[in-house]
Amino acid sequence: MSDLANGLRVSAGRLWAGGIATTVIAGLIAVVGIFLARGLFDVPVLAPQGAGVWGDADTVTYALVCAFAAVVATGLLHLLLLTTPRPLQFFGWIITLATLVAAAAPFVIDGPIAPKVATAVINIAVGAATGTLLTGVGTRAVQIRRPPGA
């Protein structure tokens, strides 16, 4: 537990346990999104059409990048909880803006529109899940320090 000057304490164990769970979910959202885009809608996301419903090695890389982004977000949340006033508000803004960048990123490359839209939708789903889950985790990881005997 890290005690803060404002009478709050951050449970790092609780925060990082929730962060690891969020990491798993972020990676799985990427895999499910690619599976649905390729298998249900026949949209070639991250792999050539001939690679099959599950894609190729890029699918694993994409899922790992999404998972890593959730780890980075957990670290950012921990830093904000320890150092800033209204840390969840700052965290919400940062995650929202990062998600918008991730959603816009596919549109800066050449290619058909369908894979761009599918990738943007997956990025939004990963960002929204990461942001909402970690905001909840951050809320539960902060505790009010009670004076002895209170």
Q: Tens digits of per-residue pLDDT, 114-130?
A: 999 999 999 999 999 99
Q: What whole-number distance in Å separates Cα of residue 87 and Cα of residue 50?
A: 46
Determine the pLDDT at residue 8.
73
> Is residue 144 scored above 90 in pLDDT?
no
| Structure-model confidence comparison of residues 144 and 90, the more confident one | 90
pLDDT(84) > 80: yes
Q: Report residue 43 CA to chain centroid gap.
A: 23
Q: According to the model, what pLDDT value does residue 23 have? A: 98
- More confident position, 83 or 54: 83
pLDDT confidence bin for 44, thresholds 50/70/90:
confident
Give me the pLDDT at residue 38, please.
87
Share of the chain above pLDDT 90, in %: 69
- Share of the chain residues as helix, strand and coil, in percent rounded to the nearest 5: 75, 5, 20
CA gap 70, 64 in Å, rounded: 10
Q: Is the pLDDT of residue 149 over 70?
A: no
What integer best gives the mean pLDDT of the chain?
88
| Amino acid 2: pLDDT | 55
Tell me the per-residue pLDDT of 49-65, one tens digit each, with 9 for 90 and over.
555 444 555 888 899 99
Residue 5, classed as helix, strand or coil, is: coil
